[in-house]
């Protein structure tokens, strides 16, 4: 079978999405299928390029265009669709894997002429269909378009919004716990690699993009309250993002620079999880968090927001809190700080 994969983003911030797509590609590879890939934003992820037979064009589109499903100008839409038509003509695919709704809507004019080709749209997260109503209605007209969600809660969120249940399939995100555990660095080696070797007290760790949906500012505010209530230890953010500078500045303004550490982007960040005593995830929403799986594999105590996709996979001893209430996170930090997992 010949397969085309169209990725929305090749950026490092989309590492969880790349993990899902790499699992799909490995499955296709195991069946002897051949795959060609194009990326619409950023460069070709190494893990994806290593698993496909043809690395196609990398478009340099901005983030807003993909997220909003708006493709800037009719001329740009024409150029991209013309390129896709040529690609389809050369590759003659039996199936097209589409990474998210924004990319699916770009394919719509071509789907009309590709009725014998199966289209699978991978849904990594919950989105509101109200602003995608016209595009979704157009996509559902074609019997060869189906949707795959990475968790039961993600699938349910689309069904509640009116997607026919028979058109969406929940396929939980595969994760190799044994392989993950084999890559973990020891405590001291992990802390040395992150530049936080000499930290006293429990270390609360956050891994992921510093963006509004992940709520790093709420974690920082909760840590401040935790310290004011006599809590000891440190808070480490591993990752980069648009809020990184703001988090660093706020920590300095609150006099927490010596206890709040931002490492920036770290290659193979999951390998360093044993640098932490407690893992914190405060996301407002998540399709299915790879970082959370990695923290579970590392055996860390977990404090996380009480959202459906987290509840699907949490161990029994995890503490959850309302993602809109920092007081719950403060209480959880105080409860866990007396029993670090390292």
User: Looking up tokens 């609150």, which residue turns up?
Assistant: 254
pLDDT at 340 over 50: no
Identify the residue with better confidence: 194 or 53: 194
If you average pLDDT over residues 9-37, what whole number do you get?
69
- Provide the pLDDT for residue 129: 81
If you average pLDDT over residues 281-289, what whole number do you get?
83
For 119-133, 134-148, 246-260, which range has the lowest pLDDT when averaged over its residues? 119-133
State the Cα angle at 204 between 279 and 212, rounded to 5°: 75
Name 39's bridge partners: 7, 58
Rounded to whole angstroms, the Cα distance separating 117 from 97 reads: 11
Confidence of residue 46 (pLDDT cuts 50, 70, 90): low
Confidence of residue 47 (pLDDT cuts 50, 70, 90): low
Which strands sit side by side in the sheet containing 34-39, from one edge to the other? Answer: 54-58, 34-39, 2-7, 95-99, 118-123, 145-149, 168-170
What is the crossing angle of helices 216-228 and 244-253, to 10°? Answer: 20
Highest mean pLDDT among 103-117, 150-164, 213-227: 213-227
Q: Look at the alpha carbons of 38, 44, 48, 53 in this order and tell me if their dihedral is positive or negative.
A: positive
Q: Which is nearest to 134 in space by CA: 40, 63, 64, 70? A: 70
- In the numeric block, which tokens belong to residue 4? 């085309």
Residues 323 and 305 sit within 8 Å (Cβ to Cβ): yes
Confidence of residue 78 (pLDDT cuts 50, 70, 90): confident
Q: Find the largest Cα–Cα distance for the chain.
A: 66
If you average pLDDT over residues 141-146, what whole number do you get?
92
pLDDT at 338 over 50: yes
- Provide the pLDDT for residue 153: 83
pTM of the model: 0.69
Average confidence score pLDDT of the chain: 82
If you average pLDDT over residues 57-63, what whole number do you get?
54
249-284 pLDDT tens trace: 999 999 999 999 999 988 888 899 999 999 999 998
165-204 pLDDT tens trace: 999 988 766 666 677 778 899 999 999 999 998 888 899 9
- In the numeric block, which tokens belong to residue 190? 């992990």
- Provide the pLDDT for residue 69: 47
pLDDT at 66 over 50: no
Identify the residue with better confidence: 29 or 3: 3
Q: Which is nearest to 275 in space by CA: 181, 203, 215? A: 203
Tell me, letter by letter, the H, E, C secondary structure of the chain.
Answer: CEEEEEECCCCHHHHHHHHHHHHHHHHHHHCCCEEEEEECCCCCCHHHHCCCCEEEEECCCCHHHHHHCCCCCHHHHHHHHHHHHHHHHHHCCCEEEEECHHHHHHHHHHHCCCCCCEEEEEECCCCCHHHHHHHHHHHHCCCCEEEEECCHHHHHHHHHCCCCHHHEEECCCCCCHHHHHHHCCCHHHHHHHHCCCCCCCCEEEEECCCCHHHCHHHHHHHHHHHHHCCCCCEEEEEECCCCHHHHHHHHHHCCCCCCEEEEECCCCHHHHHHHCCEEEECCCCCCCCHHHHHHHHCCCCEEEECCHHHHCCCCCCCEEECCCCHHHHHHHHHHHCCCCCC
pLDDT at 334 over 50: yes
pLDDT at 120 over 70: yes
pLDDT at 323 over 80: yes
Identify the residue with better confidence: 76 or 200: 200
Neighbours of 294 (CB within 10 A): 23
Rounded to whole angstroms, the Cα distance separating 116 from 138 reads: 17
């Amino acid at each position: 079978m010949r397969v085309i994969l169209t990725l929305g983003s090749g950026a490092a911030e989309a590492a969880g999405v790349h993990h899902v797509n790499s699992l799909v590609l490995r499955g296709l590879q195991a069946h002897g299928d051949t795959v060609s890939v194009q990326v619409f934003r950023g460069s070709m992820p190494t893990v994806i390029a290593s698993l496909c037979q043809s690395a196609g064009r990398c478009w340099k589109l901005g983030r807003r265009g993909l997220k909003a499903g708006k493709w800037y100008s009719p001329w740009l839409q024409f150029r991209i669709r013309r390129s896709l038509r040529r690609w389809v003509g050369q590759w003659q695919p039996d199936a097209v894997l589409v990474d998210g709704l924004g990319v699916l809507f770009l394919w719509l004019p071509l789907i009309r002429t590709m009725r014998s080709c199966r289209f699978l749209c991978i849904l990594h997260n919950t989105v509101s269909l109200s602003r995608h109503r016209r595009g979704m209605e157009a996509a559902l007209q074609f019997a060869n378009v189906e949707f795959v969600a990475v968790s039961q809660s993600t699938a349910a969120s689309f069904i509640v919004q009116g997607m026919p249940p028979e058109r969406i399939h929940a396929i939980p995100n595969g994760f190799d716990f044994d392989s993950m555990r084999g890559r973990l660095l020891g405590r001291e080696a992990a802390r040395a690699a992150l530049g936080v070797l000499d930290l006293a007290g429990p270390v609360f760790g956050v891994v992921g993009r510093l963006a509004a949906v992940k709520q790093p500012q709420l974690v920082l505010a909760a840590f401040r309250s935790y310290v004011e209530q006599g809590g000891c230890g440190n808070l480490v953010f591993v990752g980069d993002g648009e809020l990184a500078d703001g988090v660093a500045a706020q920590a300095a303004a609150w006099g927490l620079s010596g206890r709040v550490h931002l490492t920036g982007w770290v290659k193979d960040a999951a390998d360093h999880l044993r640098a932490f005593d407690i893992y914190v995830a405060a996301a407002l929403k998540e399709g299915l968090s790879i970082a959370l799986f990695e923290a579970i594999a590392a055996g860390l105590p977990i404090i996380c927001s009480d959202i459906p996709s987290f509840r699907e996979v949490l161990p029994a001893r995890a503490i959850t809190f309302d993602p809109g209430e920092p007081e719950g996170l403060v209480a959880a930090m105080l409860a866990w700080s007396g029993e670090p997992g390292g």
